[in-house]
Amino acid sequence: MKRTAVFALMLVAFMSCMALTSEAAINASVFKDAILFSIVNDVLRFNSVHTADVSVATIKDETGSGITSIAALQAVLGTPDTPPRVFQSLTDPINIGNRTLGSKAVTATLEIGQNNRVRSITITGIRERPILGISWSSTNVSNATAADGFERLGGYAVFLPRVSNAEEARAILSQINGFAATGGEDWHPGLYQEGTTPHGSQGWNILRDMSDLNYLQQAVSLDVPLMGYCRGKQGFNIAMGGGLIQDVPYHMLSEVRAGRIAQNRVTGQLAATTTHRVYRYEDVVDSTGKLRAYSNTADINAGYEVAPYTTVSCDATCSPRCQVDGLIHSGGISYHKLAPGPDVGGILPNSKWVYNIVGDTNMEWVRTAHHQFANPNKLGNGITIVAYASDGVVEAIEHQDSLFAVGVQWHPEANVLSGPTAVSLDLDLSTAFLREHVRYAGIHKDRKALINMFNNGELPEEFDFDKYEFEVDNSCLTYTDNIVDEATLLSNAMLNGWTIAGVDPQIATNWSARVVGGAVVVTLIDDVEDETVTVTLTNSGLSKKLEITFSGEITIDTETDTDTDTNVRRSSGGSGCSAAHGYLALAFFMGALPFIISRRK
């Protein structure tokens, strides 16, 4: 009887403990891959917008970096400070300044219990911060939430100088790992071979326009991860050869009158305007093709003459402008929904990045402040539309051959530090776009390090290229040392401009070759032994001939030709692979351009 009572008491105690444990587990929140920013007075800031108490937290370090206490973690994170609000020099090396913020970004799994107290911190990653450069709208850097957001999410932020040509842009971009084109003025319509439409472009800034276009074009060329917000997204389309719709409400009026949008979808009208300026294309561009200024003093001082214009009455053909589906792209509460409409809208399944970031076809709110957008009938080369508002405004574009190249019509940086009062916003989703940009900047930084390792003969024979998003079959991987002596020659070539000129016709049926995101991929389709394939790549007057022979060991003959000289390098390395492997693969780099050669067995 006593034993039965004791057992019953033990069982009750055990069940009570289990209940408490279950309740504790239920009350715990787990954040995986949290980006840790700072610890101040036992308060941890992570994922940019979240804070939690770490006074009772335990720490486990899975990286082997020796972070075994809150004090050690705090030492790695450093003391948060503000990115210097100064522009980088056009001639001196990029300088992040004398920072107290730690040089390493730390990711962890956090278990947070009641009263917002962290129970455990499991360190899962630690890496050097990549550098992200920001194009700015004025001569003075003031409130720059994007810079602060980049640093809270694991990067370093710098403000880039104005550039006037491709060479200057490449020199700056070669020193950073990500580029952000921010908001600001209307774009010069002459850049896409137009004059102004009613209520269209005004107040343009030629010096900034030309600087941003050079940065955007060369970021694609060098495969530097880029993101454009608002004006930056519009400029991204222009940089690739596209154009803009110059005024959203006037465009909506035109669509309604043409019958492409039903009259019952009109939800607002803007007050009629009595007059407006008309700039013809021949007004905004002179007879030599040089752009003309609006009235910007800096542009005039730089030698741009002021564009003439005509003032005309605004009759019923251009006013009143209207709003559709309740969407106010400029003004109102500064937020609108991004969701499918009756004809089009939402985030499209053809998206390479935006859909994965959002995880859905719509967003509850996006921060909006614009009256122009990318013209869907005048897209730039390689640009894909991946999101529309329900009224047909292009909300997001991608250049999908790049490592990461996204333009969004809204301002993801606006709430990267805190939430708005006008709407209830998902702050994690709001910060996700900048977080992904920083992640790809880190991949870019790692790629550059791999190229340096390879050129120095330091790359291991067994290496996981997948994490750096190189497209390579690596069930068996080999490489050849010191192929690249002419890296500076090819680093000046546009990555995405390389085209395949030909494959040896005698075995052309056995080989395939293609350019994927700046990587040249050559594959032997059939099981042919002791064969040599020749692939010639050309770009901007440069050519690169590759001769690859498979015969137990891999021999690479490379020949780089210019108009003035020929440089020949020959080297070989053992494959270290047997026929039992599914693939025989070789990956090497020429300047910033990766070449990938694989043979399918």
Tokens of 4: 């039965």
**What string of DSSP letters covers 11-57?**
HHHHHHHHHHHHHHHHH-EEEEEEEEEEEETTEEEETTTEEEE-TT-
Residue 265 domain flag: no
Q: Are residues 394 and 489 in the same domain?
A: no
State which residues form the domain around 52. 27-104
Within a domain: residue 316? no
Q: Tell me if 385 sits within 8 A of 379, measured CB to CB.
A: yes
Do residues 241 and 384 both lie within one domain? Answer: yes
The total domain count for the chain is 3
Whether 142 and 212 share a structural domain: yes
pLDDT at residue number 5 = 46
Instruction: Write the burial class of residue 491 (CB in 10 Å: 0-12 exposed, 13-18 middle, 19+ buried).
Output: middle
In single-letter form, the type of residue at position 491 comes to S
Which pTM was predicted?
0.76
Q: What is the DSSP letter of 272?
A: P
Residues 239 and 143 in one domain: yes
Q: Are residues 437 and 495 in the same domain?
A: no
Residues 199 and 142 in one domain: yes
Residue 498: pLDDT over 50: no
Average the pLDDT over each of 122-131, 307-316, 396-405 and give the range with the smallest value: 307-316
Q: Do the domain assignments include residue 421?
A: yes
204 with 343, same domain? yes
Under a CB-based contact definition with an 8 Å cutoff, are residues 195 and 279 in contact? yes
Does residue 344 sit in the same domain as residue 408?
yes
Residue 123 lies in a domain: no
Report which DSSP code applies to 455.
Answer: H
| Angle formed at CA 427 by CA 423 and CA 430, multiple of 5 degrees | 95
| Residues 593, 495 share a domain | yes
214 in a domain, yes or no?
Answer: yes
- Predicted confidence at residue 272, as pLDDT, reads 72
Is the domain of 225 the same as that of 143? yes
Quick check: is 275 in a domain? Answer: no
Domain containing residue 364: CATH number: 3.40.50.880
Residue 540 lies in a domain: yes
The answer to whether residue 82 sits within a structural domain is yes
587 and 500 inside one domain = yes
Instruction: Check residue 67 and give its pLDDT.
Output: 95
- Torsion angles phi and psi, residue 264, rounded to 5: -75, -5
Chain centroid to CA 478: 30
Cβ proximity of 566 and 471 under 8 Å: no
Tens digits of per-residue pLDDT, 235-286?
A: 999 999 999 999 999 999 999 999 999 999 999 988 777 788 899 999 999 9
Task: Tell which of 442, 472, 487 closes a domain.
Answer: 442
pLDDT above 60 for 515: no
For strands 118-128 and 58-61, give the pairing: parallel
Please report the pLDDT score of residue 417 as a whole number.
85
Per residue in 49-74, pLDDT tens?
999 999 999 999 999 999 999 999 99
DSSP helix/strand/coil, 373 = strand
Of 66, 87, 104, the one marking the end of a domain is 104
As a whole number of angstroms, the distance between CA 227 and CA 423 comes to 25
Mean of pLDDT over the chain: 76
Using 50, 70 and 90 to split pLDDT, how confident is the model at 425?
Answer: confident
pLDDT of the residue at 418: 81
Residues 234 and 367 in one domain: yes
In this prediction, residue 313 carries a pLDDT of 82
Domain end residue (candidates: 442, 470, 505)? 442
User: Residue 428: CA atoms inside 13 Å, Cβ hemisphere, count?
Assistant: 10
For residue 20, the model assigns a pLDDT of 41
The answer to whether the beta carbons of residues 196 and 464 sit under 8 Å apart is no
What Å distances lie between residue 448 and 365, 405, 428, 451, CA to CA?
37, 18, 30, 5
